[in-house]
């Protein structure tokens, strides 16, 4: 950010602008912290932050790994990591203070908290993106017992080996970060993408570190922690009624039982409501429209063609392929727009004799002006650390070259040309997923992995080990795509907490490095102790992946008309995006009513209850603004953060209860009157124990 040229007039104009913005959006966060200096990256990386990060990362990795090897259920740990990092660091400081150590006098800042969060989440996410409980175990002999893979010359079976896993993770876990780095300023500042989870975590960190005496922020802090406590209590209360299959409030039939059977119900998830409070109305309405199109119109029609267009039970492939085609169309359109803006900015520099200034980031020079004091302050810190983007490009090329040479030695079923093609398309998928996650808070990285299993497995051929080749390629794509969106999430948190992008990137890299070492060790220990130490964990999720891959590779070609539908929706998405861009340039009023195509596309991958929950959040926000506009503008971010954070911690507690084999004592189900009468009649015939 540039300072105003004329101090008095421009400063007075900025102060008037800040006063208007504060009246419109509530108290300024950065004015509360204005008296605190922004620490340098070296001051954020302390012995305390390193120790807490390693302990927290190892703990969360163990939780994620154990869940992935059993149920396959993987909770979001970003918010719990932020909370645990705060309390562990406070405990560290108190212990040192009790010992009289000088290090206890070092203030614990929000930037250090954000850095601990970045490290811990990067470390634990490696357990997920590495595919230990899905792709890796799906290659093993224990998962191949029922499909004849072991008899196929051994080409479709690869037993896990700790050395190979460590090397494979180091080759695949960093590519997505380097691929998306050149777009960080464009996504965070110019497009001002929300990244709701990253925003909620930043609000949580800012609230916990609010200086004492900051009266203007006290209402926001109070609202957030009240909402956090209420949401956590609600989550735990729900657990008592989930004592069986289809039990609990996770399928509340808000539209009736008939609609609930098609997936249109409310799952009582406070996270979805919180994301709806953060999200613009256009996003949530577009997601509901996409869900209605996918689950209310398209898939029910496709089901009527079962046995004609596709084999039985494979109708979900249509939604997956159509959604991916729309995501790619939307992502490629915005990627092209960013590249064109960059070329235009470079041409303007040459004409204005500013070519000597360093090129900072794709698309950032065409960004809109900052809107208030917070935006200007955050952009100033975020842009202060200039990262040489060609270095990120060079890093991606070097990683790609190393992977092309080494991965075929780790998994001989993949040849160098297969790996080269995977790394050629990975940056496009990584950008598309990061952009979509910033808009909707939904990452579709697993879907890219499933498509990679099908595409590369068919390319290699089942007889040549296509199953292992497809699963290994799936890990490559999932790692690249997921880490790109994860990095943008923590960049958003760093942007809102004034954390140096250099420090965030270092924390992400360091956390991933530790994760690449510690997660294979955790996997190897758990893999050997399950089921009496026979090396065969109950990995139903991995068997499902192997069965899905076998079913896909045994078929001849794609489902009928799927490619035609992909082309139609790809063209429609491009047309809507072009029309929206033209409308924005020419000021057409009708452009505001065009749907957000990435939100429509993401809805194709989601069960309807997620868009429904987000839409309920938008309705709450609309009514709140109508009834108390000032209160809604001032406290809605804090309330949304409390909902997301409380639900995130509640989900972690649910996971711990599941790991301890605790069972809920009761079951609540929703039945039609006729079914309820039959159930009562049956129970009347069952003898009761005295």
Q: Tell me, yes or no, whether 32 lies in a domain.
A: no
Poorest-pLDDT segment among 316-320, 332-336, 530-534, 653-657:
530-534
State the pLDDT at residue 22.
44
- Residue 235 pLDDT > 90: no
Tokens representing 663 are 């069972």
What pLDDT digit, counting tens, does each position of 661-690 carry?
Answer: 788 888 888 888 888 888 788 878 877 654
Which residue did the predictor score with more confidence, 672 or 325?
325
Q: Tell me, yes or no, whether 687 lies in a domain.
A: no
Number of domains in the chain: 1
State the pLDDT at residue 241.
86
What mean pLDDT do residues 451-464 have?
A: 86
Poorest-pLDDT segment among 208-212, 363-367, 389-393:
363-367
Residue 464 belongs to domain spanning? 41-531+543-674
- How far is the CA of 34 from the CAs of 28, 201, 478, 534, in angstroms? 10, 20, 40, 59
CA distance 282 to 275: 13
Q: Tell me, yes or no, whether 36 lies in a domain.
A: no
- Residue 354 pLDDT > 50: no
Query: What share of the chain has pLDDT > 70, as a percent?
Result: 83
Tokens representing 433 are 């997923």
Q: Tell me, yes or no, whether 19 lies in a domain.
A: no
Q: How confident is the model at residue 572 (pLDDT cuts 50, 70, 90)?
A: very high
CA distance 130 to 165: 9
CA distance 258 to 35: 58
Which residue did the predictor score with more confidence, 152 or 3?
152
What mean pLDDT do residues 631-660 have?
A: 79
State the pLDDT at residue 16.
44
What mean pLDDT do residues 287-293 have?
A: 92
Which residue did the predictor score with more confidence, 285 or 390?
285
State the pLDDT at residue 362.
53
- Residue 484 pLDDT > 90: yes
Q: How confident is the model at residue 61 (pLDDT cuts 50, 70, 90)?
A: confident
- Residue 149 pLDDT > 60: no
CA distance 320 to 636: 34
The answer to whether residues 591 and 583 touch, using CB atoms and an 8 Å cutoff, is yes
Q: How confident is the model at residue 217 (pLDDT cuts 50, 70, 90)?
A: low
| pTM summary value | 0.79
- Residue 275 pLDDT > 80: yes
- Residue 70 pLDDT > 90: no
State the pLDDT at residue 145.
66
Q: Tell me, yes or no, whether 589 lies in a domain.
A: yes
What mean pLDDT do residues 23-41 have?
A: 70
Closest-CA residue to 407 (of 158, 60, 668): 158
CA distance 210 to 113: 13
What mean pLDDT do residues 126-153 have?
A: 73
What mean pLDDT do residues 590-601 have?
A: 86
3-state secondary structure of 36: coil
86-95, 507-516, 579-588: range with highest mean pLDDT: 507-516
What mean pLDDT do residues 387-408 have?
A: 90
State the pLDDT at residue 288.
92
What mean pLDDT do residues 530-534 have?
A: 46
State the pLDDT at residue 11.
45
How would you class 582 by CB atoms within 10 Å of its CB: exposed for 0-12, middle for 13-18, buried for 19 or more?
exposed
State the pLDDT at residue 478.
93
Q: How confident is the model at residue 14 (pLDDT cuts 50, 70, 90)?
A: very low
State the pLDDT at residue 73.
58
* Mean confidence (pLDDT) of the chain: 80
- Residue 303 pLDDT > 80: yes
What mean pLDDT do residues 311-334 have?
A: 81
Tokens representing 638 are 């804090």
Q: Tell me, yes or no, whether 20 lies in a domain.
A: no
CA distance 239 to 453: 36
Angle between helices 445-460 and 540-554 (to 10 degrees): 50
What mean pLDDT do residues 605-629 have?
A: 89
Q: Tell me, yes or no, whether 684 lies in a domain.
A: no
- Residue 20 pLDDT > 60: no
State the pLDDT at residue 673.
83
What mean pLDDT do residues 264-282 have?
A: 86
State the pLDDT at residue 7.
42
- Residue 10 pLDDT > 50: no
State the pLDDT at residue 8.
43
State the pLDDT at residue 2.
37
Q: Tell me, yes or no, whether 480 lies in a domain.
A: yes
> Tokens 């070296």 sit at which residue?
42
Q: How confident is the model at residue 263 (pLDDT cuts 50, 70, 90)?
A: confident
What pLDDT digit, counting tens, does each position of 509-523 carry?
Answer: 999 999 999 999 988
């Amino acid at each position: 950010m540039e300072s105003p040229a004329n101090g008095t007039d421009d400063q007075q104009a900025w102060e008037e602008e800040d006063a208007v913005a504060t009246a419109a959006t509530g108290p300024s966060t950065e004015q509360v912290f204005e008296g605190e200096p922004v620490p340098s990256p070296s001051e954020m990386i302390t012995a305390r932050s390193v120790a807490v990060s390693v302990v927290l990362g190892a703990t969360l990795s163990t939780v994620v790994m154990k869940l992935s090897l059993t149920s396959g259920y993987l909770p979001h740990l970003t918010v719990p990591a932020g909370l645990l990092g705060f309390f562990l660091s406070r405990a560290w400081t108190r212990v040192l203070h009790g010992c009289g150590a000088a290090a206890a006098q070092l203030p614990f800042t929000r930037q250090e908290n954000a850095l601990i969060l970045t490290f811990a989440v990067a470390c634990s996410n490696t357990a997920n993106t590495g595919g230990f409980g899905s792709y890796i175990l799906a290659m093993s002999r224990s998962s191949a017992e029922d499909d004849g893979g072991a008899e196929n010359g051994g080409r479709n079976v690869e037993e896990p080996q700790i050395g190979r896993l460590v090397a494979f993770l180091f080759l695949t876990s960093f590519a997505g970060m380097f691929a998306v780095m050149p777009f960080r300023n464009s996504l965070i500042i110019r497009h001002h993408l929300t990244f709701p989870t990253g925003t909620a975590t930043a609000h949580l960190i800012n609230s916990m570190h609010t200086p004492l005496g900051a009266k203007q922020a006290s209402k926001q802090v109070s609202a957030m922690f009240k909402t956090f406590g209420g949401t956590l209590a609600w989550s735990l209360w729900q657990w008592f009624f989930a004592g069986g299959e289809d039990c609990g409030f996770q399928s509340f039939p808000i539209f009736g039982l008939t609609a609930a059977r098609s997936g249109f119900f409310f799952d009582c998830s406070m996270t979805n409501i919180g994301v709806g409070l953060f999200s613009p109305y256009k996003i949530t309405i577009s997601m509901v429209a996409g869900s209605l199109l996918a689950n209310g119109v398209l898939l029910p029609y496709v089901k009527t063609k079962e046995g004609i267009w596709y084999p039985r039970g494979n109708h979900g492939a249509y939604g997956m392929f159509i959604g991916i085609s729309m995501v790619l169309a939307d992502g490629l359109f915005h990627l092209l727009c960013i590249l064109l803006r960059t070329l235009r900015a470079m041409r303007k520099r040459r004409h204005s004799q500013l070519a000597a200034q360093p090129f900072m980031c794709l698309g950032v020079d065409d960004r809109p002006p900052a809107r208030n004091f917070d935006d200007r302050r955050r952009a100033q810190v975020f842009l202060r650390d200039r990262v040489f983007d060609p270095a990120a490009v060079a890093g991606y090329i070097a990683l790609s070259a190393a992977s092309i040479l080494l991965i075929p030695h780790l998994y001989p079923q993949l040849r160098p040309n297969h790996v080269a093609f995977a790394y050629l398309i990975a940056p496009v998928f990584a950008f598309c997923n990061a952009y979509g996650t910033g808009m909707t808070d939904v990452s579709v990285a697993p879907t890219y992995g499933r498509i990679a299993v099908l595409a590369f497995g068919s390319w290699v051929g089942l007889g040549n080990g296509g199953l292992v080749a497809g699963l290994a390629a799936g890990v490559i794509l999932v790692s690249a795509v997921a880490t790109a969106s994860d990095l943008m999430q923590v960049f958003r948190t760093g942007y809102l907490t004034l954390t140096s992008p250099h420090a965030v990137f270092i924390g992400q890299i360091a956390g991933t490095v530790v994760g690449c070492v510690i997660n294979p060790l955790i996997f190897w220990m758990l893999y050997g102790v399950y089921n009496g130490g026979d090396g065969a964990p109950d990995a139903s999720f991995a068997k499902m992946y192997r069965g899905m891959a076998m079913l896909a590779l045994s078929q001849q070609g794609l489902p009928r008309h799927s490619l035609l539908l992909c082309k139609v929706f790809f063209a429609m998405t491009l047309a809507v995006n072009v029309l929206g861009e033209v409308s924005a340039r020419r000021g057409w009023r009708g452009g505001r009513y065009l749907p957000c195509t990435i939100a429509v596309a993401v809805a194709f991958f989601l069960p309807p209850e997620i868009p429904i929950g987000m839409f309920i959040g938008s309705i709450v926000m609309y009514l709140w603004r109508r009834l108390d506009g000032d209160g809604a503008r001032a406290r809605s971010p804090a309330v949304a953060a409390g909902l997301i954070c409380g639900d995130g911690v509640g989900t972690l507690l649910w996971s711990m209860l599941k790991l301890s084999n605790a069972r809920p004592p009761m079951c609540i189900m929703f039945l039609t009157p006729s079914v309820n009468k039959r159930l009562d009649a049956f129970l009347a015939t069952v003898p009761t124990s005295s």
